[in-house]
Amino acid sequence: MQKIIDFIKQTFNTNEFIPLHEPRFIGNEKKYLNDCIDSTFVSSVGKYVDMFEKEFASYVGSKYAIATVNGTAALHISLILADVKRGDEIITQPLTFIATCNAISYCGAKPIFVDVDLDTLGLSPESLKNFLEKNCEIVDNKCINKTTKKTVKACVPMHAFGHPCKIDEIKEICDIWNIILVEDSAESLGSTYKNKHTGTFGQIGAFSFNGNKIITSGGGGVIVTNDEYLAKRAKHITTTAKVPHTFEYVHDEIAYNYRLPNINAALLVAQMENLDKFLKSKRELTEIYKDFFSKSKVKLVLEPENSKSNYWLQAVLLDNNKQRDEFLEITNKNGVMTRPIWKLMNELEMFKDCQKTDLKNAKYLEERIVNIPSSVR
């Protein structure tokens, strides 16, 4: 264990505390922030919001991008755009950050948990297919859960740590069952599957720019889509559903104050300018870790087949739960920040009664995965 600690400190060239993932501000962040402040347009209207949305859409290959105050808001609105209503059911994975299930819950919907694949850490097409064939039927062009009689409206896979799941297979299954695919791409900016950017396979995708993400504005999120109607509606309902007018305040439905402030967008425009540099650094770190752990019993999690991962968070796989806990305790005591993967969503009090498949892969990973320092060097 000490060899691993020493190696990580050597890799990051410090004997000080090493965080899991800290942001890097190495470009025009201060320049653009000062410009934004001088303009006085620091709220949800301003040139940096427009610039960022245009640049982001171009980068991932979508027609439209709508910036939001955070990634959870982006996912929440994405589900509303997918016409998710109270009482609907949403298929997702148990191995994810709480934001996925929170967004589902905000809509008054209920998650159904299917297993993940060991190689991608993401939602398993096989588990999805088996659940639907066993538990669902098509009635009036809707996917109906035969047990609950509820509509299964959408499927939300999440690309864990930036490793793409088998999203094309998931989409094919969703199309057969008339289920809307909404990609939780919060962690996967810069990741591609079969040369197509994550977040663009489904009708709607959502990204996050929280302080620990590969680029950040302290918070922030974005919705991407190729559908002009959905893009316009996303902008409308994230801007309190205010009807455009020179001076009158007319709002035509209950909506949300979810737009990204211009001052945060200024940070993101600067961060986007260095995104390719950050991704290159991430892959270089992967090669360093890969070489070291190839001589160790600890297994480094690598990008799945047909994928190019952003390697947002590096992850290692331990032999068992006991070894994982020892690894976490010793590294953190020695100034190397490490974290376990998330507790399975179906084990949380709020979701313990949700329908689920056999989750053996998710449980296996939960007991063994640890994230190690992953910052851009």
Domain boundary among 231, 249, 274: 274
**Per-residue model confidence as pLDDT tens digits over 292-322:** 999 998 999 999 999 999 999 999 999 999 9
In terms of domains, do 242 and 321 share one?
no
11 within a domain of the structure (yes/no): yes
**Per-residue model confidence as pLDDT tens digits over 174-225:** 999 999 999 999 999 999 999 999 999 999 999 999 999 999 999 999 999 9
| Domains in the chain, number | 2
68/235 Cα distance (integer angstroms): 9
Those residues with Cβ within 8 angstroms of residue 291's Cβ, 6 or more apart along the chain or in another chain: none
In terms of domains, do 138 and 47 share one?
yes
109/294 Cα distance (integer angstroms): 44
The domain spanning residue 169 has which CATH number?
3.40.640.10
In terms of domains, do 154 and 13 share one?
no
Those residues with Cβ within 8 angstroms of residue 9's Cβ, 6 or more apart along the chain or in another chain: 15, 18, 335, 336
298 within a domain of the structure (yes/no): yes
Of residues 246 and 278, the one with the higher pLDDT is 278
Q: pLDDT value at position 137? A: 98
In terms of domains, do 72 and 177 share one?
yes
Q: pLDDT value at position 164? A: 98
315/342 Cα distance (integer angstroms): 12
Say yes or no to pLDDT of 352 above 90. yes
Domain boundary among 244, 274, 304: 274
In terms of domains, do 286 and 267 share one?
no
In terms of domains, do 256 and 287 share one?
no
In terms of domains, do 55 and 155 share one?
yes
Say yes or no to pLDDT of 44 above 90. no
**Per-residue model confidence as pLDDT tens digits over 67-88:** 999 999 999 999 999 999 999 9
Say yes or no to pLDDT of 365 above 90. yes
Those residues with Cβ within 8 angstroms of residue 76's Cβ, 6 or more apart along the chain or in another chain: 103, 106, 107, 256, 258
Q: pLDDT value at position 61? A: 98
Mean pLDDT of all residues in 95-114: 98
Q: pLDDT value at position 222? A: 98
In terms of domains, do 157 and 297 share one?
no
In terms of domains, do 88 and 151 share one?
yes
Q: pLDDT value at position 340? A: 98
Domain that holds residue 240: 29-274
The DSSP string of 16-56 is S-B-S------SSHHHHHHHHHHHT--SS-SHHHHHHHHHH
107 within a domain of the structure (yes/no): yes
Q: Are 212 and 20 in contact (CB under 8 A)?
A: yes
In terms of domains, do 207 and 167 share one?
yes
In terms of domains, do 162 and 297 share one?
no
* Average pLDDT score, the chain: 97
333 within a domain of the structure (yes/no): yes
In terms of domains, do 73 and 156 share one?
yes
359 within a domain of the structure (yes/no): no
Confidence of residue 276 (pLDDT cuts 50, 70, 90): very high
366 within a domain of the structure (yes/no): no
Confidence of residue 1 (pLDDT cuts 50, 70, 90): confident
182 within a domain of the structure (yes/no): yes
263/41 Cα distance (integer angstroms): 8
Q: pLDDT value at position 290? A: 97
219 within a domain of the structure (yes/no): yes
